[in-house]
Copies of this chain bind each other. A is one copy, B any other.
Amino acid sequence: MRYGILKLLKEAGSDYITGVDIGTRFGISRSAVWKHIIELRNEGYDIESSPNKGYRLLPGGELLNPFEIMDGLGTKIAGTEVVYFDEIASTNTHAAKLAADGCAEGTAVVAGTQTHGRGRLGRSWESPKGKGIYLSIILRPPMAPAETPVFTLAAAVAAVRAIYDVTGLRTGIKWPNDIIYEGKKISGILLEMNSEAEMVNWLILGIGVNYSQTESDFPEEIRDRAVSILSASGEGTPWKDAPHGQGSAPGEDLHHVLRGGHDGRAGRLALIRALLRRIDDIYQDILNGKNAGILDEWRKHSVTLGREVRFTLKNTEYTGTAADIIENGSLLVDCSDGVRRELHSGEISIRGIFGYSD
Chain A residues near B (Cβ < 8 Å)? 93, 96, 100, 120-122, 144-146, 148-149, 151-152, 176-177, 190-199, 201, 328-329, 344-346
B193–A152 CB distance below 8 A: no
Q: How many angstroms from the CA of A194 to the CA of B148 in the assembled complex?
A: 13
Looking at the complex, which one of B149, B195, B346 makes contact with A193 (CB distance below 8 Å)?
B195
**Given A145-B148, A191-B197, A198-B346, 5 other A-B residues pairs in contact with their CB atoms under 8 A:** A120-B197, A121-B196, A149-B197, A152-B197, A192-B194
Minimum-distance CB pairs A-B, first 8: A198-B345, A152-B197, A191-B197, A144-B344, A194-B194, A144-B345, A193-B195, A192-B196
Q: Which residue from chain B places its CB closest to the CB of A151 in the assembled complex?
A: B197
A199–B345 CB distance below 8 A: yes
Q: How many angstroms from the CA of A96 to the CA of B195 in the assembled complex?
A: 11
A344–B146 CB distance below 8 A: yes
Looking at the complex, which one of B176, B191, B196 makes contact with A191 (CB distance below 8 Å)?
B196
Most interface-central of A193, A197, A328, A344 (chain B CB within 10 A): A197
Interface residues of A: mostly helix, strand, loop or mixed? Answer: mixed
A and B contact pairs by CB, cutoff 8 A, 17 listed: A96-B100, A120-B196, A120-B198, A121-B199, A144-B344, A145-B195, A146-B149, A146-B344, A152-B197, A177-B197, A192-B194, A193-B193, A193-B195, A193-B196, A194-B194, A195-B195, A198-B346
Q: How many angstroms from the CA of A122 to the CA of B151 in the assembled complex?
A: 23
A197–B329 CB distance below 8 A: yes
Q: How many angstroms from the CA of A145 to the CA of B152 in the assembled complex?
A: 13
Most interface-central of A122, A191, A194, A346 (chain B CB within 10 A): A194
Q: How many angstroms from the CA of A144 to the CA of B149 in the assembled complex?
A: 11
Chain B residues with CB under 8 A of A192: 194-196, 201
Q: Which residue from chain B places its CB closest to the CB of A329 in the assembled complex?
A: B197
Most interface-central of A177, A192, A328 (chain B CB within 10 A): A192
A344–B190 CB distance below 8 A: no
Chain B residues with CB under 8 A of A120: 196-198
Chain B residues with CB under 8 A of A328: 146
Looking at the complex, which one of B93, B145, B198, B201 makes contact with A145 (CB distance below 8 Å)?
B145
Chain B residues with CB under 8 A of A201: 192
Q: Which residue from chain B places its CB closest to the CB of A122 in the assembled complex?
A: B199
Cβ of A26 to closest chain B Cβ, rounded Å: 43
Chain B residues with CB under 8 A of A177: 197
Chain B residues with CB under 8 A of A191: 196-197
Q: How many angstroms from the CA of A134 to the CA of B194 in the assembled complex?
A: 21
A176–B194 CB distance below 8 A: no
Cβ of A320 to closest chain B Cβ, rounded Å: 19
Q: How many angstroms from the CA of A192 to the CA of B190 in the assembled complex?
A: 20
Q: How many angstroms from the CA of A24 to the CA of B53 in the assembled complex?
A: 92
B196–A194 CB distance below 8 A: no
Chain B residues with CB under 8 A of A190: 196
Q: How many angstroms from the CA of A193 to the CA of B177 in the assembled complex?
A: 22
Q: Which residue from chain B places its CB closest to the CB of A206 in the assembled complex?
A: B196
Looking at the complex, which one of B146, B194, B197 makes contact with A146 (CB distance below 8 Å)?
B146
Chain B residues with CB under 8 A of A145: 145, 148, 193, 195
Cβ of A136 to closest chain B Cβ, rounded Å: 13
Q: How many angstroms from the CA of A120 to the CA of B201 in the assembled complex?
A: 11
Chain B residues with CB under 8 A of A151: 197
